[in-house]
Structure 1
């Protein structure tokens, strides 16, 4: 009798498990667009003649003619969509969250131009450049990644390490003393000044970078009201509040109206 009762109970429980989803859908999606409607920001110009590896660096398409390298800091499409903005959900502290930026030096350019990092976490830069046509640089084009903890007019060096050969990399623990006040990380090559990039400290994995049209999407955001930051190192930043519901998508659009260079967050 006990065996029959146990069998019946098992069948009932099994039917319930089939009828009810095993995992409830948790979290929602934030998607939208970041636009820039402020004054135009012209690309910075650098004379190739002032830097080493002239012919190799000229292979990068970001240039004017054959003599000038361009650093396009603020890129906007025809509909004001802002490229390379970072959109980050703030106020959610995930102590177990780990993330290591993997920055590449490619054709005398740090990629990506913007990204995120975790304060007191690791930061990696790899040199991908070599010039077979130049005996001095056949094994590698020397790059010297120099990073700074930047807050307004204040800055402090975090690391300054040369990468002489293709494949050389650095992997350093980042300790940004001004991060809690809103500082960001600025990266520049001491050999090639036009190689620059920027990184925003985050405390969770709910972030995204905007594409060429300024759009973004962040999935699996916990339900609730959250402050969301749209940040660009040169154009500036805007913060709004959104309410996320489980299994739903909420639209968040940001318009940056004026240059707020180096002000942090």
Structure 2
């Protein structure tokens, strides 16, 4: 009897943990009279960083000589390209756009396309080898300065396709590399909620349909990492404007 009671207590505890965990998940609800958050992202202390790699194999497919990979790009107006502004720990709001539930990364002429992808957490990622040479796509979850392998798959033949559901537990993005070609680099921002914005060509961002409330502001950049900016309070139907700087 004591053993049965002990097992029941453990089961109830586990159920309680599961309920608490699910309560922390993002909930999609109808948003009426939502507000918006807009602004720009200046480069600040960040410097442009383009690195040159020697193309040491498969020149007939990858090209000859060297390749420049722009890890940090600064726009002419001093804003930072490739940055994503997002609201952290938002518990409920608008639905995730359907187009973010799937992302396809092509490997063509030994380059990742897109070089910066966007997808929803728990979405489906497809990687295609469009080259007539071996690629080994290796993706890492970015967790601060650390990184953890998400997938590591060899694609030896032209036309090889792999599909994997992506679920990041701690990080908000992934680094993409090819273990067979050290000059192939890319990044993927993995959205936990739809409340994010990739800056445009002028460095501007816009997040809309935000339920009234107070939220933490963060920024992600594949190469530079993440940065926190405190909190904003969004009123129903209102607009908050803030110019951020890395």
For this structure pair, what is the TM-score category when the shorter chain's length is used for normalisation? 0.7 to 0.9
Taking structure 1 as the reference length, what is the TM-score of the superposition? 0.68
Whole-Å Cα distance in 2 between the matches of residues 30 and 168 of structure 1? 42
Larger strand percent: 2
**Deviation, structure 1 residue 46:** 0.7
RMSD: 2.9
Whole-Å Cα distance in 1 between the matches of residues 42 and 66 of structure 2? 28
- From 198, 202, 211, the equivalent of 1:209 is 198
Q: Please state whether the residue corresponding to 2:61 is helix, strand or coil.
A: helix
Q: Please state whether the residue corresponding to 1:56 is helix, strand or coil.
A: helix
Structure 2 residue aligned with 1:247? 237
2:209 aligned with 1:220, yes or no?
Answer: yes
Which is further off, 154-163 or 27-36? 154-163
In structure 2, list runs of 5 or more residues that go unmatched: 1-29
2:173 aligned with 1:188, yes or no?
Answer: no
Q: Please state whether the residue corresponding to 2:232 is helix, strand or coil.
A: strand
**Deviation, structure 1 residue 198:** 2.3
- From 66, 70, 73, the equivalent of 1:72 is 70
The answer on whether the counterparts of 2:37 and 2:207 sit within 8 Å (CA) in structure 1 is yes
Structure 2 residue aligned with 1:230? 219
- From 42, 62, 65, the equivalent of 1:57 is 62
Rg larger in structure: 1
2:150 aligned with 1:161, yes or no?
Answer: no
Aligned residue pairs total 212
Whole-Å Cα distance in 1 between the matches of residues 147 and 32 of structure 2? 44
Whole-Å Cα distance in 1 between the matches of residues 88 and 119 of structure 2? 14
Q: Please state whether the residue corresponding to 2:220 is helix, strand or coil.
A: strand
The answer on whether the counterparts of 1:34 and 1:81 sit within 8 Å (CA) in structure 2 is yes
**Deviation, structure 1 residue 255:** 0.3
Whole-Å Cα distance in 2 between the matches of residues 233 and 161 of structure 1? 21
Q: Please state whether the residue corresponding to 1:195 is helix, strand or coil.
A: strand
In structure 1, list runs of 5 or more residues that go unmatched: 1-22, 59-65, 131-136, 257-265
- From 26, 33, 42, the equivalent of 1:26 is 33
